[in-house]
Amino acid sequence: MKLFVGLGNPGAQYAFNRHNVGFMAVDVIAAAHGFAAWRKRFQGLTCEGKLGGEQVLLLKPQTFMNESGRSVGEAVRFYKIDVGDVIVFHDELDLAPGKVRVKIGGGVAGHNGLKSLTAHLGNDYMRVRIGIGHPGHRERVIGHVMRDFAKADMEWLEPVLYAMSDAAPHLAKGEKDRFQTQVAHETQTGTD
């Protein structure tokens, strides 16, 4: 079984925050691939389905971003999931809006959700880094990530979410490079 984790904060007031793009990604995957209904488990919301022939559990921790690792750790222990089978979707300040990069391990770059996951799981999980851009100044970062996406952002955000959903079976099969290539191909704007 693979565990796809979307990072975000629970509650309607956070639903469209840049920080919640991980929740948005797994919501689109669940809807597009006919996953079962979301239900409360592991201090989060989960649903199950198949991607690329692989059983996949989607998880949206409801512990708030800074404690995401508690929820993910519970699910990992319950299902005895190898940390290499955990794929985390999260916002990334250091990527231009709409860019998607996948990596295994690495630093947390001040991301409190990743910091919590690493504390509970170690560092060898896969990260799907979804670019939200940087506001330019360090003191503006919190306001930037906690602010809703602007209407203009929908021009790149929706195609990226749907491209990630289309390519998600590659992630389930461990084909991170094919996933990244397909997402880039589907969202190509001719600039880089």
DSSP state of 179: H
Residue among 21, 29, 52 nearest 164 (CA): 29
Q: How many helices (H) and strands (E) does the chain have?
A: 6, 7
Please state, in angstroms and rounded to a whole number, the distance separating the CA atoms of residues 22 and 182. Answer: 19
Please state, in angstroms and rounded to a whole number, the distance separating the CA atoms of residues 190 and 44. Answer: 39
Residue among 76, 65, 69 nearest 8 (CA): 65
Determine the 3-state secondary structure of 58 from DSSP: strand
Based on the residue annotation, tell me whether 137 is a catalytic residue of this protein: no
Determine the 3-state secondary structure of 131 from DSSP: strand
Choice among 19, 90, 111, 170 that is catalytic:
19
Q: Active-site residues: which are they?
A: 19
